[in-house]
Amino acid sequence: MNLPDPSVLYSDHLDELRRRADEALARGGFDHLVVPSGTAHYQVFDDRDYPYAVNPQFKAWLPLTHVPDSWLVYTPGKRPQVIFHQPHDYWHVVPAAPSGWWVEHCDIHIIRSPEQALPLLPPAARSAILGEPQSALGDHGPNNPQPVIDYLEYHRTYKTPYEIALMRQAQVLAVRGHRAAEAAFREGRSEFAIHMAYCAAVGQDATELPYGNIVALNEHGAVLHYTQMQTEVPSPLRSFLIDAGAGTGGYASDITRTYAAEAGSEFQALIDAVDAAQVGMGRAVRAGFDYKQLHLDAHLALASILRDFGVIKVSAEEALATGVSAAFFPHGIGHLLGLQVHDVAGFAASDRGGRIERPAGHPYLRLTRVLEPGMVVTIEPGIYFVDMLLDEVNKSGHGASVDWNRVAQFKPYGGIRIEDNILCTEGEPDNLTRPLFAAH
């Protein structure tokens, strides 16, 4: 599959970021945008640092995810200034000299120690400094002005062609990993071994993956963010849920697949039903469609499946109204995706702030906006068999809505989630994930 080349799209991306920064600075009353890349954080009473995580406001400008103590400085009308920290250090691998498609578009200042950035920074009082408190240098402590952040985060929702190109690459990597993971599952490997097979195929580990891999066999699939990864292989092996992404140039993919060990099993049929419903939900990723509605429609679709499989005995509408569907589908249908796996501004009412609340009774939905072209969202319906939530159904007096024998039959399989990443366009939704599974 031919992928667009981000290097030829970067210049336009930078122009767009400059336009956004011009307006954001005007709104905040500042003359300069100053963005530290972030610093290492140390563990308490220890000299070990936590994995470094780059400031998302920094990697929005530059495809650099491993240059701590560096800075991006933008002044309207001028070229971006990159203060690039390349220490003299024989203990660690230091960042390579600046190279790549971004270099010719920026003025680069190499510094050898963090303090050398100070004389290169514009006056703090006139600067919007976006970052974490630990990045403070002299009087350049991050002030994170809300009008500036509101504007930049809101507009980050609309991906530039450069960003889409990088996100497509992140899909290719992750799908390669998913294929290797499925093969490892079919060979009867442990969660830990499957995780290692995934990382090897993607060429990334915990420091580069956009989030911790969820690799769950059997009933572990019912733990939404299961990250324990056992080294023992359970017996019998019934099911496999993997939620794993990849990062490219600072952009994330976030993909989930579920497999049954037995091809003709009823659990496989349930997976197939969720998969078909997920494809239908993906088709609703259209400009003008309210994502809150997409979430509520997903409840109805999943409750219909539960009814078809005899797990619930009430209509989909009743299951939604009584909270029974939420016991089986206890998370949101998805979220914005981009520089962060749960990308920002999912509730933003406008680029001047304000919040669009979630529908009552749906506390985990992460996106409440109306879809617009350029947004990339996940669509990730799931059905799980979680004791804690099923107990609550009983306690709330709706136990008669559920066929508990059917629940008991499915419980050893844990759960099902299917997650694709979908670009909203002016026309048809562009599913970034699914065609790659078909092609590999």
> Residue numbers of the site for Mn ion (CB under 5 A)?
243, 254, 256, 378, 419
343 binds ligand GLY (CB under 6 A): no
Q: Closest approach of Cβ 169 to ligand GLY, in Å?
A: 19
| Identity of the residue, 84 or 251, whose beta carbon is nearer to ligand GLY in the bound complex | 251
420 binds ligand GLY (CB under 6 A): no
The alpha carbon of 227 is separated from its chain's Cα centroid by a whole number of angstroms, namely: 16
Q: Which does 289 bind (CB under 5 to 8 A by kind): Mn ion, ligand GLY, none?
A: none
**Residue 152 · residue 20 · CB < 8 Å:** yes
Q: Closest approach of Cβ 258 to Mn ion, in Å?
A: 12
380 binds ligand GLY (CB under 6 A): yes
| Identity of the residue, 191 or 243, whose beta carbon is nearer to Mn ion in the bound complex | 243
Q: Which does 158 bind (CB under 5 to 8 A by kind): ligand GLY, Mn ion, none?
A: none
Can you read off the two tokens belonging to residue 137?
């240098």
223 binds ligand GLY (CB under 6 A): no
Q: Which does 401 bind (CB under 5 to 8 A by kind): Mn ion, ligand GLY, none?
A: none
150 binds ligand GLY (CB under 6 A): no
Residue 5 pairs with which residues in a beta bridge?
Answer: none
* Member of 243, 343, 351, 420 binding ligand GLY (CB under 6 A): 243
| Identity of the residue, 62 or 222, whose beta carbon is nearer to ligand GLY in the bound complex | 222
254 binds ligand GLY (CB under 6 A): yes
Scan residues 358-377 and list those touching ligand GLY (CB under 6 A).
none
Q: Which does 204 bind (CB under 5 to 8 A by kind): ligand GLY, Mn ion, none?
A: none
| Identity of the residue, 163 or 380, whose beta carbon is nearer to ligand GLY in the bound complex | 380
| Identity of the residue, 18 or 195, whose beta carbon is nearer to ligand GLY in the bound complex | 195
Return the ∠ at Cα 276 (arms to 274 and 280), rounded to 5°: 110
Q: Which does 211 bind (CB under 5 to 8 A by kind): Mn ion, ligand GLY, none?
A: ligand GLY
Q: Which does 69 bind (CB under 5 to 8 A by kind): Mn ion, ligand GLY, none?
A: none
| Identity of the residue, 211 or 259, whose beta carbon is nearer to ligand GLY in the bound complex | 211
Residues in touch with ligand GLY (CB under 6 A): 211, 243, 254, 341, 380, 419
